[in-house]
Chains A and B, each alone.
Chain A
Amino acid sequence: MSAIELYLTLGVAVFLLSLHGLMTLHDPIRRLIAVNLMGAGTFLVMVSLAKRSAVPDPVLHALVVTGLVVAISATAFALRLIIAASKHDEENSEDSEQP
């Protein structure tokens, strides 16, 4: 097994493991991390595919960079939403505890 194949397999394995996490976990933060790991697996596959030729494929690198930008901004957005949602839930549970 060459190094590229190893990385490819690793990428797919990370993707599948984190998919399993996404489906079984309930905490939103954990689920978000799982999605990010799925992304990491995908990017690993892409980068190792780019390495197959002597000159690394620039198109794939560009795609990974774009993908990273999307992933980071989406993660920030998701974190903001999750925090706001849990604050809202806390307020509600406090409200309901009052007589």
Chain B
Amino acid sequence: MNFALISLAVPLFAGLLLLLCGHALKTRTTGFLAIASTVVSLAAAWFALQTVANAGASIMLDLGGWETGLAIRLRLSSLSALLLLFTALMHLLIGLYAGFSRQGIARDFWHLSCFLHGSLAALWLSADLFNLYITLELLGLTAVAMVALSGKKAYRPAANYLILSLAASLFYLLGVALLYGRYGELDVLLLAPRTEADVITRLALLLMTTGLMLKAALWPLHLWLPAAHASAPTAVSALLSGLVVKGPLFILWVLWSEVAPPALAQQIGPVLGIAGMIALTAGGLSAMRSPYIKTLVAYSTVAQLGYALMALGLLLTWQLPQMHIALWLFVIAHGLAKASLFLAAGEMQSTLGTRRVDGLRGATQTVPVAMFAFAVAGGSLIGLPPSGGFLAKWVLLEPLLSEPGNWPWAIGVLLGTLVSAAYIFRVVALAFDRARINPPDTRTGRAGHWLALLPALMVWGMALSGEWLIQLLAGGGV
């Protein structure tokens, strides 16, 4: 457990340090310190994962020595350890990009990204509904501040994002208050055996679900996402799409698979599953029509979250462990692939001097590495073997196909695959246009292109560790 605490505390303190004395340091040093803290956090997360795998069960820790009920209780399960590792890895990859790409990044990015890392780590470890609220707010505020980093034109979308995020948190908080009023408990594990399917519980769960779905941009509450994610600086877009939306999704999972009484969970499951299927197609169609590169990638997030939502919905409906594995495999595979996609999109935008998809004509010649990164990451989103996306899709498909009654859900997966292929290859096909090439700006460096490729290669490498991941998620699921 101590390793998990290190993984949580190091980025938080690094963030504080950089905030307080950041102005005395060079931007380069700031970046170096932030990346170093991420590396330490990554190593700690790895050891935490080892610890929990050896223990074979979740490890609990009461902070501050208070008795249970008052203390801040942290829980390290194999899932949260894996997510800690994933978060640190994403921050490392994106931090490297932000530090070495020629596009440059505002100095404030560094301490904000440290805070974001810390609040996410706290979120994965929290086992208390109110703590989860606090981490959710921290996450939202940091994310808004990071969107605003791209300058004045992003203030309007940032303000809208903040207002919606606050409203969503209040939905969640009201739900928490109702649950506390009904049961007098906030701790997830103490609450879980006591919940009943009465009116107040239903109302509370409904309120919390609405708030969380709004925060995670799950269909139909996704409309704010494309504007916010597309207007942020490239590295921030990657963090937002790859990581931040997964936080509320995690809480949603905790809420329904642990807190809610199983009878209610079985009722909501199909609803979430259908919403996921609609998200897959509707988000994909919007991505197909989007005239701007970054908006296309942002809509693809809406679509891909549909897979996760579908897996969650079916997990609740059937209580199948495979769905749990599929859900988190989707989260990890999507995070890595989406980071690559956003970084590549940002690099291509700045090198080609255009925000439009049409501007990518001839990109295989002008920005070959970035375009390759885009295609490779896109391949994982489509779910081509042997990528991480394929692994997740396979685990999701297996239980769907084994019962003829479940086949309609498989059609949803089929549609999702085809639509993702359509919007990814819309871009890739344009890039092979040799007749009307958009000339590149040769002054920008190419380091960023290679760094954009790194997460994409990792998501394809994920397939090789597929068995390990599946066992890990199957062993310490709840």
Interface residues of A (CB under 8 A from B): 15, 19, 22, 28, 31-32, 35, 38-39, 41-42, 45-46, 49, 52, 59-60, 63, 66-67, 70-71, 73-74, 77-78, 81-82, 84-85, 88-89
Q: Which residues of B contact A78 (CB under 8 A)?
A: 159, 162-163, 166
Q: Which chain A residue has the least Cβ–Cβ distance from B154?
A: A85
Q: Given known contacts A31-B163, A32-B163, is B155 in contact with A42 (CB within 8 Å)?
A: no
Interface residues of B (CB under 8 A from A): 70, 130, 134, 137, 141, 144-145, 148, 152-153, 155-156, 158-160, 162-163, 166-167, 169-170, 173-174, 176-178, 180-181, 186
Interface of B (DSSP majority class): helix
Do the beta carbons of A67 and B141 come within 8 Å of each other? no
Do the beta carbons of A66 and B134 come within 8 Å of each other? yes
Q: Given known contacts A19-B167, A45-B178, A89-B156, is B137 in contact with A81 (CB within 8 Å)?
A: no
New contact pairs (15) apart from A63-B180, A78-B159, CB-CB < 8 Å: A15-B174, A39-B166, A41-B174, A45-B177, A49-B177, A49-B180, A59-B186, A60-B180, A63-B177, A71-B166, A73-B141, A74-B141, A81-B148, A81-B155, A84-B152
A22 CA to B171 CA, complexed, in Å: 13
Report which of A35, A42, A88, A89 forms a contact with B163, defined as CB distance below 8 A: A35
Q: Which residues of A contact B177 (CB under 8 A)?
A: 42, 45-46, 49, 60, 63
Q: Which chain B residue has the least Cβ–Cβ distance from A41?
A: B174
A49 CA to B186 CA, complexed, in Å: 14
Q: Which chain A residue has the least Cβ–Cβ distance from B185?
A: A59
Nearest 4 pairs between A and B by C-beta? A85-B155, A49-B181, A88-B152, A81-B159
Q: Given known contacts A49-B177, A60-B177, is B153 in contact with A38 (CB within 8 Å)?
A: no
Q: Which chain A residue has the least Cβ–Cβ distance from B176?
A: A63
Q: Which residues of B contact A88 (CB under 8 A)?
A: 152-153, 155-156
Report which of A38, A77, A89 forms a contact with B162, defined as CB distance below 8 A: A77
Report which of B167, B169, B174, B176 forms a contact with A22, defined as CB distance below 8 A: B167
A61 CA to B130 CA, complexed, in Å: 13
Q: Which residues of B contact A31 (CB under 8 A)?
A: 163
A67 CA to B158 CA, complexed, in Å: 21
CB distance from B220 to the nearest CB of A (A): 14
Q: Which residues of A contact B155 (CB under 8 A)?
A: 81-82, 84-85, 88
Q: Which chain A residue has the least Cβ–Cβ distance from B156?
A: A85
CB distance from A37 to the nearest CB of B (A): 10
Q: Which residues of A contact B174 (CB under 8 A)?
A: 15, 41-42, 45
CB distance from B343 to the nearest CB of A (A): 26
A74 CA to B138 CA, complexed, in Å: 10
Report which of A45, A77, A82 forms a contact with B141, defined as CB distance below 8 A: A77
A70 CA to B136 CA, complexed, in Å: 11
A62 CA to B426 CA, complexed, in Å: 53
A63 CA to B180 CA, complexed, in Å: 11
A66 CA to B159 CA, complexed, in Å: 22
Q: Which chain B residue has the least Cβ–Cβ distance from A15?
A: B174
A31 CA to B173 CA, complexed, in Å: 19
A89 CA to B159 CA, complexed, in Å: 13
Q: Which residues of A contact B186 (CB under 8 A)?
A: 59
Q: Which residues of B contact A52 (CB under 8 A)?
A: 181
A84 CA to B144 CA, complexed, in Å: 14
Q: Which residues of A contact B178 (CB under 8 A)?
A: 45
Do the beta carbons of B156 and A35 come within 8 Å of each other? no
A88 CA to B174 CA, complexed, in Å: 35
Q: Which chain B residue has the least Cβ–Cβ distance from A66?
A: B134
Q: Which residues of A contact B162 (CB under 8 A)?
A: 74, 77-78, 81
A78 CA to B428 CA, complexed, in Å: 39
A89 CA to B152 CA, complexed, in Å: 9
Do the beta carbons of A35 and B167 come within 8 Å of each other? yes
Q: Which residues of B contact A60 (CB under 8 A)?
A: 177, 180
A74 CA to B166 CA, complexed, in Å: 8
CB distance from A55 to the nearest CB of B (A): 13
CB distance from B145 to the nearest CB of A (A): 7
Q: Which residues of B contact A67 (CB under 8 A)?
A: 173
Q: Which chain B residue has the least Cβ–Cβ distance from A12?
A: B174
A73 CA to B137 CA, complexed, in Å: 11
CB distance from B373 to the nearest CB of A (A): 33
Q: Which residues of A contact B156 (CB under 8 A)?
A: 85, 88-89
A52 CA to B156 CA, complexed, in Å: 43
Q: Which residues of A contact B160 (CB under 8 A)?
A: 28
Interface centre among B134, B145, B169 (most CB of A within 10 A): B169
CB distance from B5 to the nearest CB of A (A): 21
CB distance from B281 to the nearest CB of A (A): 26
Q: Which chain A residue has the least Cβ–Cβ distance from B138?
A: A70
A85 CA to B174 CA, complexed, in Å: 30
Q: Which residues of A contact B170 (CB under 8 A)?
A: 15, 35, 38-39, 42
Q: Given known contacts A59-B180, A59-B186, A63-B130, is B159 in contact with A85 (CB within 8 Å)?
A: yes
22 example contacts (A-B, Cβ-Cβ < 8 A) are as follows: A22-B163, A32-B163, A38-B170, A42-B170, A42-B173, A45-B177, A46-B177, A49-B177, A63-B130, A63-B177, A66-B134, A71-B166, A78-B163, A78-B166, A81-B144, A81-B148, A81-B155, A81-B159, A84-B152, A88-B152, A88-B155, A89-B156
A66 CA to B350 CA, complexed, in Å: 42
